[in-house]
């Protein structure tokens, strides 16, 4: 499995995947910016509404204290959005990966498995649906793990282990669906749940590295193509 990860990393910057890499990074950054703007506007609205309510309750004499608290809350919220954008990367990469999965898999299969039949592209609507489901699941995991960050980083461990399951499952099934029906791909993943989960740990480690994690869709898809090929060979 380590060899699969090394192959995936080595192919990230190959000429055929370089354009996909930049498109993937651009889309990931765009999604993060959009989410950040929406959250920032929502927080500002809530802080302003809370400030107005507090001043109405305590009178104009509370204007400066309330303004000071609102300013501190805005700063804290801004920092929270920055930190949150890092933790939202699993959800972002799930969405981005659904757009470029087949382009990545095509290049990996041509480079490393030229004698094997080339996989068929997964219908875009199906890939997007899988990406949306995985992104929503990742968001639920984030919301559950965030409060646990207060307990000596326990939330970070939970988040890491859950990310391994969520992303490992999505990318393995995307790789498998190129060569087998949807139901069969899921069944293969279930039969090899332990191996796929360990593979997901590699992806979770990759997505936890700031900046580098923008390339997660390429690494994850390439890695899971290799893993699927090995598991398919054992199943024959």
Question: What is the pTM (predicted TM-score) of this model?
Answer: 0.75
> How confident is the model at residue 147, as a pLDDT?
66
pLDDT tens digits, 204-215: 899 888 778 888
- Cα distance between residue 180 and residue 102, in whole Å: 14
pLDDT by residue (tens digit) across 76-116?
555 555 555 556 667 777 777 778 888 888 989 988 998 88
Q: Please tell me the distance from the alpha carbon of residue 228 to that of residue 174, in angstroms, as a whole number.
A: 10
Quick one: what percent of the chain has pLDDT higher than 90?
16
DSSP state string for 100-169: HHHHHHHHHHHHH-TTSPPPPPPPHHHHHHHHHHHHHHHHHHHHHHGGGGGTTTHHHHHHHHHHHHHHHH
DSSP-derived letter for residue 181 is: -
* Cβ contact 159:142 at 8 Å: yes
- CA gap 214, 31 in Å, rounded: 11
């Amino acid at each position: 499995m380590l060899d699969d990860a090394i192959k995936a990393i080595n192919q990230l910057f190959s000429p055929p995947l370089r354009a996909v890499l930049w498109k993937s990074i651009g889309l990931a950054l765009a999604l993060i910016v959009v989410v950040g703007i929406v959250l920032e506007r929502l927080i500002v609205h809530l802080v302003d509404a809370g400030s107005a309510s507090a001043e109405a309750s305590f009178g104009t004499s509370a204007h400066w204290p309330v303004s000071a608290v609102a300013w501190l809350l805005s700063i804290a919220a801004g920092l929270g959005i920055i930190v949150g954008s890092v933790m939202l990367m699993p959800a972002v990469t799930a969405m981005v990966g659904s757009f470029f999965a087949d382009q990545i898999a095509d290049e990996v299969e041509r480079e490393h498995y030229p004698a094997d039949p080339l996989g068929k592209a997964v219908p875009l609507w199906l890939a997007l649906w899988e990406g949306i489901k995985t992104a929503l699941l990742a968001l639920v995991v984030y919301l559950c793990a965030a409060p646990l960050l207060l307990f000596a980083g326990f939330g970070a461990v939970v988040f890491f282990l859950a990310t391994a399951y969520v992303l490992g499952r999505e990318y393995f099934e995307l790789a498998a669906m190129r060569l087998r029906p949807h139901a069969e791909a899921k069944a293969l993943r279930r039969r090899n749940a332990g191996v796929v989960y360990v593979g997901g740990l590699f992806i979770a480690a990759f997505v936890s590295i700031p900046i580098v994690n923008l390339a997660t869709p390429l690494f994850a898809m390439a890695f899971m193509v290799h893993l699927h090929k090995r598991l398919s060979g054992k199943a024959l």
